[in-house]
Structures are given as structure tokens and as C-alpha cells.
Amino acid sequence: MIRIALFEDINEIRELLTETIQNSEGLFMAGAYANANDALKIMKRDRPDVVLMDIQMPGVSGIEAVRTIKLNFPNIQVLMQTVFEDNARIFAAICAGASGYILKDASPERYLEAIMEVAAGGAPMSPVIARKVLTMFQGQNPPSPKEEYHELSLTEQKILGCLVRGLSYKLIADECKISPSTVNFHLKNIYRKLHVNSATEAISKALRQQMTK
């Protein structure tokens, strides 16, 4: 049984997700909250395996909450809920240690799939976010020589390209002639590389330039 804690300040979304999770076999809704102000207390009480975290909430932001949760409970997997326009916040959440991402307009079925994926050690990434990550790594705004930076391998680039095309993990595995677990391994590696790079001003500069185009 996968225990879920949900942080979402919009009542309608919180209620819909709560109902979806409660009616799904193998999932248990440990608690649903309108803010993350008491995230640590909630983690200790609810003992979730997966946290669904809204990226922007009143009080403590989702990004701050992820950072705190991962620092104190590194084994808890955090799945960020984002919207298309949240460019800067998406990458800030990567820095904070988010395990995966889902867009808020995703279907209930896709939400359940993403929860299962992240609970199994996967790294869900939507086509929209994959495109943003791929664009950043294509060197439009490379970091300065002082910053540690790791380029994506050809396989990692291909996997992101497949995600941009909307392929499932299984289809990506077939196309790249690797196993689905290896797809997840490469996605985790991509996140790791973003962790290295995203703590720098290079990302902020890149995002600012993209937003002004």
C-alpha cells in the first residue's frame, strides 16, 4: 500500500485528487492539506511514501517544502504539480530534490500512473518539461567555466526527445533498445545533472532570457 500526502491550496483540485486516490487500489490517502506550513509535522504523523506537492502555495512554497522534506526524510518521494508557465519554479524544484513532475491539467489516470512510477523509483517527466530541460542542455546559455557542468549523453538526449514526442516509457525503451528501468535510470541521471547545474546563476540567466524572447 502506497501512502500519499497531498498539498494543494485549490479546494476543487484537492478534493478531486483525494477522491481519485481514495478510490484507487493500492493507494492510501494519508492526508490532504491546503498549505505546507507544517510539512515536517505532517511527514512524521502521516509517514507518506509519496508526497504530491503544489509548486506554489500561500505561506511556505512547495519548493521550500520539498527542500525541507528531502533534507529530513530523504526516502520520501516528492511529485511536483506544476503549470506550464512555471519555468523558473520547475528548475528550482529540481534543485530542491523533487523526484518527478506532473502538469495540473493531466488526467486522473495520468496522476495515478505518475504516483506509481515515482513510488517504484521512477522519475516522471512530462513532454512539456522534457522540452524545457532539453532546451536548457542544448547550450543556448552555457554556464561559466567556474561552474561544474555535465552535458547530457546521447542516450539521455534521445530519451528526452522521445518524451517530447509523448512516448510512454515502454515505447521509449523499445525505441532505445533498453529496459524501462534503464529509462528511469537515465531520467534520474538527468535530474542529477540538473541538480549540479541548477544551483548556479546560469539557470536563472537562461530562464530570464527565455522569458524575454
What is the topology classification, in CATH, of domain 125-213? Answer: Arc Repressor Mutant, subunit A (1.10.10)
Strand order in the sheet with 50-54: 27-33, 2-7, 50-54, 77-82, 100-103
pLDDT at 177: 92
Higher pLDDT residue, 12 or 145? 12
Q: Which three cell numbers stand for residue 136?
A: 536548457
Is pTM beyond 0.95? Reply is no
Q: What is the pLDDT of residues 168-177, one digit of tens each?
A: 888 999 999 9
The identity of residue 46, as a single letter, is D
- The CATH 3.40.50.2300 domain(s) of the chain lie at 1-124
Q: Hey, what CATH class is 1-124 in? A: alpha beta
HSE, side-chain direction, 13 A CA sphere, residue 79 = 28
CA distance readout (Å), 134 to 46, 137, 138, 156, 205: 36, 5, 6, 9, 16
Q: What is the pLDDT of residues 92-107, one digit of tens each?
A: 777 778 888 888 888 8
Tell whether the model's pLDDT for residue 203 goes beyond 50. Answer: no
Q: What is the b/e burial string over 46-74, where b = at least 16 CB atoms within 10 angstroms of the residue's CB? A: bebbbbbbbbebeeebbbebbbbbbeebe
Q: If we measure between CA atoms, which residue out of 132, 174, 130, 179 comes closest to residue 156?
A: 130
The identity of residue 145, as a single letter, is P
Residue 69 CA to residue 111 CA, distance in Å, equals 21
Residue 111 CA to residue 17 CA, distance in Å, equals 8
pLDDT at 210: 46
Provide the 3-class DSSP secondary structure of residue 97: coil
Residue 66 CA to residue 105 CA, distance in Å, equals 21
Q: What is the pLDDT of residues 18-52, one digit of tens each?
A: 999 999 999 999 999 999 999 999 999 999 999 99
8 A C-beta contact, residue 199 and residue 95:
yes
pLDDT at 208: 47
- The CATH 1.10.10 domain(s) of the chain lie at 125-213
